[in-house]
């Protein structure tokens, strides 16, 4: 199948991968749009790496389809034109310098890849260490060298499998800065991760997977909106406030450390609650909106008994 400039960078439909009785990926649908920084998010063992392997044509799906810019990587290696990345940790010859490793990869890629080595080393901030042996690199430096290798191909789509895993705080900061820079230059990025803070800071759209299935795909903004209205509540008598909340329609109360957390079906329900608290003798000291964190939403989706797909 020939590619189309109008086709999305990644389009996955009904993707399944089974290993005997084990279903690693179970009927996954997702679409990565041009310009997205798309987070493929889930616990370890949720099927993220297996999905990326199928997207890159490294393993064959049991069922379903993958299209990269409209082309099937199982049909032709040409489907990977404009696509680069790594699955799990990038591998290099540890006894050779980073520069030599990139030259070997550039020779395999052909084209103008060799002429880009200096540019990509600068992008990942490894110019000063280019002549050092990779065996002496930190984990974060090897991750950045892996991205440099991917960038040799001038990709329009970059797929990264857990790029920040195992990095120290400085390495995570550098990785965030690098991904943001690439996205600002128009590159589409799909990254898998179980690090919620990284995804929340970097990504505009996400798919959350659990046991091989997609529990949510869409924007972070819509995901937060799906959590409903949430407020932090403090009163002059929290014990009384709990009883009043329990009697109010459209109100759900939970505890977060020393705070009361109110979830409401509507603004009217919040207004009626406020009035009921005052009339009931629990004076309101604080009733402030609180944005649901990605961590809250992630655990709600991945720990429920039945995941529910959301458009």
pLDDT value of residue 83: 93
> Does one domain contain both 192 and 287?
no
> Does one domain contain both 219 and 267?
no
Residue 73 included in any domain: yes
Phi, psi of 234 (to 5 degrees): -130, 140
pLDDT value of residue 44: 80
Supply the mean pLDDT for the chain. Answer: 85
User: pLDDT tens for residues 15-43?
Assistant: 999 999 999 999 999 999 999 999 998 88
User: pLDDT tens for residues 53-99?
Assistant: 999 999 999 999 999 999 999 888 888 889 998 888 889 999 999 99
Residue 148 included in any domain: no
> Does one domain contain both 66 and 33?
yes
Residue 228 binned pLDDT confidence (cut-offs 50, 70, 90)? low
DSSP string, the chain: ----TTS-SEEEEEEEEEETTEEEEEEEEEEE-TT-EEEEE--TTSSHHHHHHHHTTSS--SEEEEEBTTB-TTT-GGGGTTEEEESSS----TTSBHHHHHHHHHHHH-TTGGGGHHHHHHHTT-GGGTTSBGGGS-HHHHHHHHHHHHHTT--SEEEEESTTTT--HHHHHHHHHHHHHHHHTT-EEEEEES-HHHHHHH-SEEEEEETTEEEEEEEHHHHHHHT-EEEEEEES-HHHHHHHHHHSTTEEEEEETTEEEEEESSHHHHHHHHHHHHHTT--EEEEEE-PPPHHHHHHHHHHSSS-----
CATH of the domain at 260: 3.30.70.100
Distance CA 249, CA 273 (A): 9
Instruction: Answer yes or no: is pLDDT of 302 > 80.
Output: no
Instruction: Answer yes or no: is pLDDT of 264 > 60.
Output: yes
Q: What percent of the chain has pLDDT over 70?
A: 91
> Does one domain contain both 170 and 266?
no
- Domain that includes residue 284, residue range: 228-291
| DSSP-assigned beta bridge partners for residue 259 | 256
- Tell which of 223, 249, 274 closes a domain: 223
Distance CA 211, CA 216 (A): 13
Distance CA 40, CA 207 (A): 5
pLDDT value of residue 218: 87
> Does one domain contain both 202 and 236?
no
Instruction: Answer yes or no: is pLDDT of 256 > 80.
Output: no
- Tell which of 223, 253, 277 closes a domain: 223
Residue 191 included in any domain: yes
pLDDT value of residue 308: 40
More reliable by pLDDT, 59 or 223: 59
> Does one domain contain both 172 and 273?
no
Q: What is the pTM of this model?
A: 0.76
> Does one domain contain both 69 and 178?
yes
Instruction: Answer yes or no: is pLDDT of 5 > 90.
Output: no
Residue 147 included in any domain: no
Instruction: Answer yes or no: is pLDDT of 214 > 70.
Output: yes
> Does one domain contain both 29 and 73?
yes
User: pLDDT tens for residues 67-80?
Assistant: 999 999 988 888 88
Compute the C-alpha angle 165/211/196, nearest 5°: 35
Residue 187 binned pLDDT confidence (cut-offs 50, 70, 90)? very high
Place of tokens 């890159």: 56
pLDDT value of residue 165: 79
Tally the domains of the chain. Answer: 2
């Amino acid at each position: 199948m020939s590619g189309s400039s109008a086709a999305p960078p990644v389009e996955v439909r009904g993707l399944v991968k089974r290993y005997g009785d084990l279903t690693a990926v179970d009927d996954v649908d997702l679409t990565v749009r041009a310009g997205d920084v798309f987070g493929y998010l889930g616990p370890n063992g949720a099927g993220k790496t297996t999905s990326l392997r199928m997207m890159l044509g490294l393993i064959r799906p049991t069922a379903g389809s993958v299209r990269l810019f409209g082309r099937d990587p199982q049909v032709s290696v040409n489907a990977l034109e404009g696509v680069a990345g790594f699955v799990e940790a990038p591998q290099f010859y540890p006894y050779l310098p980073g520069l030599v490793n990139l030259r070997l990869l550039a020779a395999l890629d052909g084209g103008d890849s060799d002429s880009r080595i200096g540019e990509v080393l600068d992008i990942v901030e490894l110019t000063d260490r280019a002549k050092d042996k990779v065996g002496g690199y930190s984990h974060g430096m090897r991750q950045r060298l892996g991205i440099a290798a991917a960038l040799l191909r001038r990709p329009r789509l970059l797929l990264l499998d857990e790029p920040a895993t195992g990095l120290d705080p400085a390495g995570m900061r550098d990785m965030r800065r690098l991904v943001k820079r690439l996205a600002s230059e128009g590159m589409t990025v799909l990254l898998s991760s179980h690090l919620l803070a990284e995804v929340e800071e970097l990504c505009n759209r996400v798919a959350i997977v659990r046991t091989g299935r997609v529990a949510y795909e869409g924007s972070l903004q819509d995901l937060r909106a799906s959590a409903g209205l949430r407020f932090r509540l403090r009163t002059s008598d929290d014990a009384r406030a709990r009883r009043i909340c329990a009697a109010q329609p459209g109100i759900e109360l939970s505890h977060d450390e020393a705070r009361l957390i109110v979830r409401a079906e509507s603004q009217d329900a919040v207004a009626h609650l406020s009035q009921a608290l005052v009339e009931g003798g629990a004076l309101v000291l604080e009733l402030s909106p609180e944005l649901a964190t990605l961590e809250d939403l992630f655990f709600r989706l991945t720990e429920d008994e039945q995941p529910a797909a959301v458009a």
